Amino acid sequence: MALAKYTETRYRIWHYSYLVICASVFFFLIAPLFVIVPLSFNAEQYIHFSSGMMALDPDAFSLRWYEDMIYGTKNPWGIAVKNSFYFAFFATVGATTLGTIAALGLSSRYMPYKSLIMSILISPMIIPLIISGSAIFFSLAKVGLASSFIGVVIAHIILGTPFVVITVTATLSGFDDSITRAASSLGSTPTNTFFKITLPLITPGIISGALFAFVTSFDEIVVILFVAGGDRSLTTIPLQMWTGLREQLSPTIMAVATCLIVLSTLILIVTELLRRRSERIRGISAQ
């Protein structure tokens, strides 16, 4: 990106203003997230940068909102965290299994009606959540599964599968068929080929799809708003935040939000490692 020495002044100006624009957009993207972090350590009741905080006075900072989050009696964050992880776990397992198997079929050259089937499978991602939420709620209510654990898990599996299908088919589209053919020609059974050759190669894709499914469920709010139907025992972190934000912006929510930012940072690191691993494997397999 370095400019050549002979660059004209007006292009120089243009180039630097372009960099300034880019920097402002990056700032716009990332800064709002980091406003929350210091505010969660606020010793005061109000959500603003107090003069003590600006002066970096240690007394202006405290962990009281984190204590409130964990031990607070009014805030059922404990059950929300437990539910969120339970739902996300089962939804991830369900969505990843169904999605991966379907992606294997969809990537076959012989798959009929591929485009139509793909459109149907992707639709939960495209159709507005408010429509999905109410439709799933009505159908679950009909079979007596509304406001139930299984009902929420089914709803989250539906929402998670498109991401798994997309990421795994994307991984499989770069898959070199000659490898599996080589395995077969050397006498490997189809099952053996799948577990020894195909699966290890597409594992990064599956894990990244599973992460998407996990985050989709973990972060899901609109559908569970309908499906949980006010049942307090089914509350999740997003649901609890939604309720809290509707009432009042409390510092405890800032503490929860900070924890969620830490979680998303972890997910980001995992996806980055996966991407590198995937590139490395591809690099070898392409030779």
Partner 1 sequence: MTNGEIRTSDGELLSVKLKKVESRKRTGALVLVLPLLLFIIITYIFPIIQMLQRSVDNTQMNDLLNNTYQVIQNWDGTDFPPEEVVKTFYNDLKYLSENKLHGKIAVRLNYEKGGFSSLIKKTVRKLDSFDIDGNYLQQFKDVHKRWADQEYWLALKRATVPYHGRKYLASFDFKQDFDGSIVRIEEKKRINVTLWLRTIYVALGVTLCCLILAYPIAHLLSVLPTRYSNLLMICVLLPFWTSLLVRTSSWMVLLQTQGVLNDFLVFLGIVADENRLELMYNMTGTFIAMTQILLPFMVLPLYSVMKTISPSLMRAATSMGATPFHAFRKIYFPLTYAGISAGSILVFVLAIGYYITPALVGGAKGTLISNRIAYHMQSTLDWSYATAMATILLVGVLVVYYVYNRVVGIDNMRLG
Under the criterion CB under 8 A, does residue 139 sit at the interface with partner 1? Answer: yes
Among 69, 91, 136, 172, binds partner 1 (CB under 8 A): 136
Exposed/middle/buried for residue 262 (C-beta within 10 Å: 0-12, 13-18, 19+): exposed
**Smallest gap from residue 235 Cβ to partner 1 (A):** 13
Query: Contact between 281 and partner 1 (CB under 8 A)?
Result: no
Coil, strand or helix: which one is 108?
A: coil
* Residue selected from 87, 212, 227, 255 as contacting partner 1 according to rule CB under 8 A: 212
Q: Which is nearer to partner 1, 119 or 285 (CB)?
A: 119
CB of 163 to partner 1, least distance (A): 7
Q: Of 179 and 274, which CB lies nearer to partner 1 in the complex structure?
A: 274
**Sequence-ordered alpha helix ranges (H) in the chain:** 9-40, 51-54, 64-71, 77-106, 114-126, 129-142, 149-173, 177-185, 190-193, 199-218, 222-227, 237-247, 251-285
Output DSSP code: residue 74: S
CB neighbour list of residue 166: distance below 8 Å, 6 or more residues apart:
122, 209
Piece in contact with partner 1 (CB under 8 A), picked from 55-63, 68-76, 179-187, 220-228? 220-228
Binding-site member from 119, 192, 233, 285 for partner 1 (CB under 8 A): 119
Minimum separation from the CB atom of position 64 to partner 1 (A): 18
Between 73 and 248, CB nearer to partner 1: 248
Bridge partners of 61, per DSSP, are: 42
Amino acid at 266: L
CA pair distance 80, 252, nearest whole angstrom: 14
198 touches partner 1 by CB under 8 A? no
Does residue 154 touch partner 1 according to CB under 8 A? yes
192 lies in the binding site for partner 1 (CB under 8 A): no
> What is each CA distance from 37 to 68, 149, 261, in whole angstroms?
16, 33, 9
By CB under 8 A, is residue 53 in contact with partner 1? no
Q: Do 60 and 43 contact (CB within 8 A), yes or no? A: yes
Residues in region 4-33 near partner 1 by CB under 8 A: 11, 14, 18-19, 21-22, 25-26, 28-30, 32-33
- Min dist. Cβ of residue 181 to partner 1 (A): 13
Among 63, 182, 199, 249, binds partner 1 (CB under 8 A): 249
Q: What x/- string results for residues 69 through 108 when contact with partner 1 is judged by CB under 8 A?
A: -----------------------------xx-xx-xxx-x
Nearer to partner 1, 201 or 220 (CB): 220
Find the helix packing angle between 9-40 and 251-285, rounded to 10°.
Answer: 130
CA distance 164 to 95: 7
Coil/strand/helix, residue 42: strand
